[in-house]
Amino acid sequence: MQRQRTDCPWWQRGVIYQIYPRSFQDSNGDGVGDLAGIEARLDYVATLGVDAIWLSPVFPSPMADFGYDVADYCGIEPMFGDLAAFDRLLAGVHARGLKLLLDFVPNHSSDQHPWFAESRASRDSAKRDWYIWRDPAPGGGPPNNWISDFGGSAWEWDAATGQYYLHAFLKEQPDLNWRKPALRAAMMDVLRFWLDRGVDGFRIDVLWHIVKAEGFPDNPVNVDWTPDRTERDRLIQRHSTDQPEAHAISADFRALADSYGERVLVGEIFLPNDRHARWFGTPERPQVHLPFNFQLIENRWNAAVLRRVIADYEASLPTHGWPNWVFGSHDAPRIAARIGDAQARVAAMLLLTLRGTPTLYQGDEIGIGDVPIPPERVRDPQDLRQPGLGIGRDRSRTPMPWDGSPFAGFSAVEPWLPLNADWPTRNVAAQSDDPDSLLTLYRSLLTLRRAQDALSIGKFALVDADEDVLAFERWHGDDRLLVALNLGTQRRRLPLPAHGAIGAVLASTLPPRVLDGSLAPDEGLVLRLEEAR
Ligand code: TEU
């Protein structure tokens, strides 16, 4: 059989690991993580077996939205370190053969950014239209009905200059005006600044938000809205997001990244498949390499549901598009909190065997579950503004528990958010020494993925299976694997492969056993398929 091309770029084979800098490792005893802390933990990241680190924002920030409110795009927040510390971190990353992606936040800056100070100073300011200012509606009040993602009107009144400014998120995060060429040029310079320093790419925050419809028409009302949903969902964000002009800018980002050689752009985009796929761009004018795919987060942990999700997503990809999968983030509930410890092992196997680049969120590799945050310790502005909806993001942002020492080896003092209550036993050191731990499973799956082209860059096809069972084949050249995952609590039949016969067990979520044609509850298997004789 003809071997396929294997000279594909690293980001297709690779696994991305998201680090939330506030909660990875504190090195200076202030209870908040920092760059030197991350540097000190790089051996852990390298031996985990991932390929790239995506760092949530580390730029100077008043932290109204914990770094997603950037006050200087070309600096480092003093709480995290300085540019020298950043350069040391980047050198340490590269020395271990890893890549580093920064988090680029183009839709909005902090209201403390000097650009905004200048913009709001007067209507005649040279940077007035670097942000989005509008007069009140004819009868008074906000210019249109748009709602902030964090609740309330997306418009904030500025009494001094008698206009409203737009903010898709907090009022401390004014939206930038990407229709303004000078702003665009300044932001391109920001990307160049970090690319010149040697970063390997960017995750781009809320990329589909960056341009708004001309004339700012009202958004349509969402007739399916119910009060258990966030206020944002009262409206369909038709005119405030996903505008054609944003695709052109996304293509410009790509052209710039490509001019630096092999760099990668990951776009944060929440949209249905058909609109989502457009962010790949065209072969002639590509956009982001990886439009983040959050469907494992957004959908129920159910074999039939996931089967449809996977098939629909695969079918939606353009021929030049490469898939990707995300199971956790600093915004989403923890996967282990959603589905429990036993199924978190099955989820690990799914994430690392699907076709496409996986993104693993720090702490998910040790199965941190729900961490209830006492009311007085809630920090997430989204939660504080819309309490009672259970949308708090703090519970996914708690510090990494490294070992059994005080404060779990994360810090010398009480951390900014509480640790997971089970940290004395659920920590990196304890799981490193335990052959049956989730961390050990992650490490072995990452090793397997690296060794098997079929898993990293191979082809993919779903296989028919019993209720509760999700099964698929992966193959590359002559190597063919069957992945069979039991998402339920009943023993089920092991699905029959479409090709060949079942051979050796390459990985299992459960202790080794002799195969008997069944899949135990919570069992996931990666099996080699052999030529049928
Ligand atoms: O998130 C964008 C986003 O869409 C989130 O608001 C998401 O809908 C929500 O968190 C789901 O619970 C990005 C960042 O990841 C997030 O941390 C920032 O708060 C936000 O952008 C604003 O920059």
Cα–ligand 1 centroid distance for 271 (angstroms) = 14
383 pocket-lining for ligand 1 (C-beta < 6 Å): no
Question: Ligand 1: does its nearest atom lie under 6 Å from the Cβ of 453?
Answer: no
Q: Would you say residue 173 lies in a domain?
A: no
Residue 442 has pLDDT above 90, yes or no: yes
Q: Is residue 409 part of a domain?
A: yes
Bridge partners, 474 (sequence order): 460, 481
Average pLDDT over residues 47-65: 98
Please check the confidence at residue 187 and state whether its pLDDT lies above 80.
Answer: yes
Q: Are the C-beta atoms of residues 477 and 1 closer than 8 Å to each other?
A: yes
Q: For ligand 1, atom 10, which residue shows the shortest CA distance?
A: 331
| pLDDT score of 391 | 84
For residue 293, how far is its CA from the centre of ligand 1 (angstroms)? 14
Nearest CA to ligand 1 atom 4: 206
**Shortest-distance Cα residue to atom 17 of ligand 1:** 331
Atom of ligand 1 nearest to the CA of 270: 4
Q: Cβ atoms within 10 A of the Cβ of 514, count?
A: 5
Any ligand 1 atom below 6 A from CB of 365: no
Across the range 52-75, mean pLDDT stands at 98
Phi and psi, residue 175, nearest 5°: -70, 135
pLDDT > 70 fraction of the chain, expressed in percent and rounded: 98
Express each pLDDT in 188-247 by its tens digit: 999 999 999 999 999 999 999 999 999 999 999 999 999 999 999 999 999 999 999 999
Per-residue exposure over 383-401, b if at least 16 CB sit within 10 Å of its own CB, e if not: beebeeeebbbbbbbbbbb
Question: Ligand 1 centre from 73 Cα, in Å?
Answer: 18
Q: Is the pLDDT of residue 2 over 60?
A: no
Q: Give the residue, out of 170, 206, 295, with the most ligand 1 atoms within 8 A of its beta carbon, to mutate for a pocket test.
A: 206
**Domain, as residue range, for 347:** 10-110+178-445
Q: Looking at the structure, do residues 378 and 480 belong to the same domain, yes or no? A: no
What is the rounded CA–CA span in Å between residue 183 and residue 304?
Answer: 46
Shared domain for 440 and 521, answered yes or no, is no
Q: Which atom of ligand 1 is nearest to the CA of 232?
A: 8
Question: Does 190 share its domain with 233?
Answer: yes
Percent of the chain with pLDDT over 90: 96
Any atom of ligand 1 within 6 Å of the Cβ of 331? yes
List residues with catalytic annotation. Answer: 205, 268
Residues 123 and 71 in one domain: no
Q: Place 3 in a pLDDT band, splitting at 50, 70 and 90.
A: very low
Picking from 501, 493, 436, the residue whose alpha carbon sits closest to that of residue 466 is 493
Q: Is the CB of 205 under 6 A from ligand 1?
A: yes
Q: Examine the fold and report which residue of 445, 470, 491 is the final residue of a domain before the chain moves on.
A: 445
Domain count along the chain: 3
Q: Confirm or reject: Cβ of 104 under 6 Å from ligand 1.
A: no
126: domain CATH number is 3.90.400.10
Beta strands in 349-450, from DSSP E residues, in sequence order: 357-361
Predicted confidence (pLDDT) per residue in 138-177, tens digit: 999 999 999 999 999 999 999 999 999 999 999 999 999 9
CATH of the domain at 524: 2.60.40.1180
CA of 497 relative to ligand 1 center, distance in Å:
40
Q: Would you say residue 396 lies in a domain?
A: yes
Rg (CA), the chain: 24
In this prediction, residue 497 carries a pLDDT of 86
Whether residues 103 and 251 fall in one domain? yes
- Closest-CA residue, ligand 1 atom 14, reads 205
Ligand 1 site, residue 233, Cβ cutoff 6 A: no
Q: Whose CA is closest to atom 11 on ligand 1?
A: 331
Q: Which residues sit opposite 108 in a β-bridge?
A: 175
Task: For residue 413, give Cα distances in angstroms to 366, 371, 493.
Answer: 22, 19, 51
Residue where one domain finishes, among candidates 406, 422, 445 = 445
State whether the beta carbon of 50 lies less than 6 angstroms from ligand 1.
no
294 and 320 part of one domain: yes
Q: Are residues 434 and 330 both part of a single domain? A: yes
The pLDDT assigned to 273 comes to 97
DSSP output for 241-274: S--HHHHHHHHHHHHHHHTTSS-EEEE-----HH
Q: Which of 205, 210, 361 to mutate to test the pocket of ligand 1 (most atoms within 8 A of CB)?
A: 205
Residue 171: inside a domain: no
> Tens digit of pLDDT for each residue in 259-270?
999 999 999 999
Helix (H) / strand (E) containing 99: strand 99-104
Residue nearest ligand 1's atom 1 by CA: 206
CA 446 to centroid of ligand 1, rounded, Å: 28
Do 492 and 433 belong to one domain? Answer: no
Torsion sign (Cα): 43, 45, 49, 54:
negative
Structure confidence at residue 5 (pLDDT): 47
Average pLDDT over residues 450-470: 97
Bridge partner list, 166: 155
User: Is 73 inside any structural domain?
Assistant: yes
* One domain for residues 225 and 253: yes
| Whether residues 374 and 258 fall in one domain | yes
318 & 333 share domain = yes
Same structural domain, 299 and 370? yes
**How far, in Å, from the CA of 142 to the mean position of ligand 1?**
23
327 or 390, which is more confident: 327
pLDDT band at 6 (very low <50, low <70, confident <90, very high): low
Among protein residues, the one with the nearest Cα to ligand 1's atom 12 is: 331
Question: At 309, phi and psi to the nearest 5?
Answer: -60, -45
What mean pLDDT is predicted for residues 16-32?
98
Is 68 touching ligand 1 by the criterion CB < 6 Å? yes
* Cβ–Cβ under 8 Å, residues 409 and 402: yes
Ligand 1 near 270 CB (within 6 A): yes
Tell me the H-state helices in 433-531.
438-451, 453-456
Mean local confidence (pLDDT), 522-531: 96
Q: From atom 20 of ligand 1, which residue's Cα is the shortest distance away?
A: 68
Ligand 1 centre to CA of 387 (Å) is: 16
Average pLDDT, the chain: 96
Residue 37 sits in a domain of what CATH number?
A: 3.20.20.80
Residue linked to tokens 């730029």: 59
Ligand 1 near 169 CB (within 6 A): yes
* Last residue of one domain, picked from the residues 101, 135, 166: 166
Q: What is the mean pLDDT of residues 367-390?
A: 93
Amino acid at the residue 19: I
Q: What is the pLDDT of residue 1?
A: 35
Tell me, what's the pLDDT at 533? 55
Confidence of residue 498 (pLDDT cuts 50, 70, 90): confident
65 lines ligand 1 (CB under 6 A): yes
pLDDT number for residue 389: 87
